Amino acid sequence: MHLARKFSFLRKLPLLAALLVVVVSAPARADRVRDLCDVVGARENQLLGYGVVTGLTGTGDDVFSAPFAAQSLLALTRRLGVQIDAGQLRLRNVAAVLVTATIPPFAKPGSHLDVTVSSMGNARSLSGGVLLQAPLLGADRHVYAVAQGPLVLGGYEAKGASGSSIKSNVTTSGRIPGGALVEREIPMPYAQDDVITLALKQGDFVTAQRIADAVNKLLGAGTATALDGGTVRVKSKGDLKGRPVELMAKLSDIDVQPASSAKVIINERTGTIVAGGDVRLSPVAIAQGGLTIVIRETPVVSQPLAPFGRTGTTVVTPQTEITAEQDKPTPSMTFLEGATSLADVTNALSVLGVGPRELASILQALRTAGALRAEIVMQ
């Protein structure tokens, strides 16, 4: 019986499509300003609060190792006019939690927010729990929302009397869709002195100038000015002066073609290569080779003879043979013509027929040699 295992550091594939994921758009597509920019002054804010979850089936915090849940419940009952002896509290159906939420810009009092609840003690599960009224504070320590309601979990846990259990996903955190009510509006001074500032989500000098040019073409010369690669200043004029909402409505729908950056993303763990943007390839010659290692194991049966004609113990002795071969590349040198588009780069590299890890090494070598006009990003 022969058992052969072959390890090859150069496994050729017929199609480069399995190796290189190319992001190409034949016609240039314009994006709207609302997708490219944020408005300075109109932003989201994070809220944080402390609360107590009740109604758990014995999976809450331990009163000895995590007593703050029981203490909070005791303080709550006293505010409600119920006097309870603290020494008699032995509850396992309550849990102390942290409550987080994000309040969007221009949220008015009475608006609903989604909140996330996570255990801060040693509770095993928050399944079936109900969050009691918890104020949510901003960074300035002012209350902007109040959260309350039943939790929705993305996992489950079941445990039998014998000790066997099953668990899926996380059971110590959950969400309350629409579980918070906004109590205070956060001012959003996005328009000051009839000036609106646009902040690019991905800073680029070319994109910023294109946005300014497009705004000036629509609303008149001198309306917009690109301050730097990430900021565009818009000054309302004429009929739009003193009407920032109408000005933002017109700005949001302006189409602008953003500048693309030449990048190649390489994930060595999964062997995935993603190339996007304005990638260029100069004429270059590449030599490639492969190393093949073959391991063969042959079991040999041995039947030794003991003295006086007695038969010994039968044993099986494996014999291992290891050979290494250095393959010569065919052809020994591959010449790639210059490519001016990403599709041309793909066609040029497809003649190599190498695996994703070898292709990643080739791309890095091309970048080092200055033949590949792109930034290599390793993940």
Q: Is 13 exposed, middle or buried (0-12, 13-18, 19+ CB in 10 A)?
A: middle
DSSP 235-285: E--GGGTT-HHHHHHHHHT-EE------EEEEETTTTEEEEESS-EE--EE
Q: How far apart are CA 192 and CA 190, in angstroms?
A: 7
Nearest to 198 by CA among 165, 220, 230: 230
0.85 exceeded by the pTM?
no
* Chain mean pLDDT for the chain: 77
pLDDT band at 61 (very low <50, low <70, confident <90, very high): confident
Percentage above 70 pLDDT, the chain = 68
Give the phi and the psi of residue 219 in degrees, each rounded to 5.
-105, -5
- Residue pointed to by tokens 């695996």: 355
At 68 the pLDDT is: 79
Statement: residue 309 has pLDDT above 60: no
Give the phi and the psi of residue 190 in degrees, each rounded to 5.
-85, -20
- 6-29 pLDDT, tens digit per residue, is 333 334 333 343 344 444 444 456
- Residue with the bigger pLDDT between 263 and 151: it is 151
Segment 200-204 shows an average pLDDT of 89
pLDDT band at 347 (very low <50, low <70, confident <90, very high): low
246: its two tokens: 């109408």
Statement: residue 113 has pLDDT above 90: yes
Statement: residue 198 has pLDDT above 90: yes
* Residues facing residue 46 across a β-bridge: 102
Statement: residue 90 has pLDDT above 90: no
Statement: residue 292 has pLDDT above 60: no
At 228 the pLDDT is: 92
Statement: residue 250 has pLDDT above 60: yes
At 365 the pLDDT is: 79
- 153-186 pLDDT, tens digit per residue, is 887 666 665 666 666 678 889 999 999 999 999 9
Statement: residue 244 has pLDDT above 60: yes
Segment 174-203 shows an average pLDDT of 92
217: its two tokens: 């073409």
Intervals of CATH 3.30.1360 along the chain: 31-42+189-256
SS3 state of residue 365 = helix
* CATH code for residues 31-42+189-256: 3.30.1360
